[in-house]
Amino acid sequence: MIDPNASVLLEVRGLTATVAGVEILKGIDLTVRAGEVHAIMGPNGSGKSTFARILAGHPAYEVKSGTVRFEDRDLFELAPEERARRGLFLGFQYPVEIPGVSNSAFLRLAYNTVLGARGRDELDPLEFDDLVREKMKLLDIDTSFLDRSVNDGFSGGEKKRNEILQMALLEPRVAILDETDSGLDIDALRVVANGVNHLLTPENACVLVTHYQRLLNYIVPDYVHVMEGGRIIMTGDKALALELEARGYDWVVEAHKGRDKAAA
């Protein structure tokens, strides 16, 4: 839902970054307002996941130049955990497995840490159990999730549902979902997408990073950005996603090269 007067939640300007000395983002601009759904698409290796991980504060990347404002703060002055507490959420492409820590204890710890930082009361295990079961119902997640270790032995689809469950619990202002659709069959995709749609409000925003258009049949984006070579080279609406699905990425890349040459 586009409202030009809605507040800006995330504003990226001229962002460049390197990993192990190799430039991987080459100047990204993006503005995300409350209520909006953005899709970032692009071929493998275009820098989409890197962009998502840099926003969340992954230590492997070095930001070289540019700025990111997250609401009223300079994002890069915030440690990853502070970003999370202020409402930035990254749904991982590959959620890690943590044997030995029960999922219910982990979810409650994350909830109490993040929501506690926003002034909410801590929940004891019983109170939290009520809350998490309600959210799990919404996402059609089996309650056996709670007793297992965090993502330990979970299927790809189960891990992604567990990510969306965390999103539901942590109530982010900006949720960045990195390849949330990969590894999901069509039923799981629908369930996950319904969950995300349910969580979207005029107060928050969502950035979907995806290689395929099919997720966007279920979560309809307001903006579709095409990323290539560490830059956003084209922005359109949901029709662009359909065109990419039909024609692939090559034509966008060619058109962009043409523009670059003309500019030179």
Partner 1 sequence: MTVTAIHPCVEALLQGSRGLPRMPLAWLNARRGAALERANALTVPTARDEEWRFTDITPLTRIVFRPAAAAPRLGMSDIAQYIAPEATAHLAFVDGVFVPELSANAGLPYGVVVTHLTAAFGTHAAVIEPHLARHAAFERDLFAALNTACLRDGAFIWIAKNQRCPTPVQLLFISTQQETAAHPRCLVVVESGADCTLIEDHVGVGDGAYFNNAVSEIVVGERARVQHVKLQREARSAFHIANSAVTLAKDATYTSNAVTFGARISRHNLAVVQQGEGATCRIDGLALISGRQLADTHTAIDHARPNGKSAQLHKCIVGDAAHAVFNGKVLVRAGAQLTDSAQQSRNLLLSPKAHVDTKPQLEIFADDVKCSHGATVGQLDTEHVFYLKSRGLSEERARSLLTYAFGAEVIDRIPVPSLVEHLERAVLEQTQARPQAGGEAS
Confirm or reject binding of residue 127 to partner 1 (CB under 8 A). no
Q: Report the C-alpha gap between 175 and 91 in whole angstroms.
A: 7
Q: Which of 112, 182, 194, 235 binds partner 1 (CB under 8 A)?
A: 112
**Least distance to partner 1 from the beta carbon of 206, Å?**
16
Give the CA distances from residue 212 to residues 54, 66, 104, 181, 215, in Å, rounded to whole numbers and listed in that order.
Answer: 22, 28, 32, 8, 7
What minimum distance in Å lies between the beta carbon of 53 and partner 1?
A: 8
Question: Which residues, numbered 51-80, are part of the site for partner 1 (CB under 8 A)?
Answer: 56-60, 79-80
> Could you please report the per-residue DSSP string of 151-199?
TTT--HHHHHHHHHHHHHHH--SEEEEESTTTT--HHHHHHHHHHHHHH
Shortest spacing between CB 119 and partner 1, in angstroms:
11
Q: Rounded CA gap, 190 and 195, in Å?
A: 8
Per-residue contact flags (x/-) with partner 1 for residues 189 to 228, judged by CB under 8 A: ----------------------------------------
Nearest to 168, CA basis, from 125, 145, 206, 135: 135
- Least distance between partner 1 and beta carbon 159 (Å): 11
Residues binding partner 1 (CB under 8 A): 56-60, 79-81, 83-85, 89-90, 92, 95-96, 98-101, 106, 108-110, 112-114, 116-117, 122, 149, 166, 170
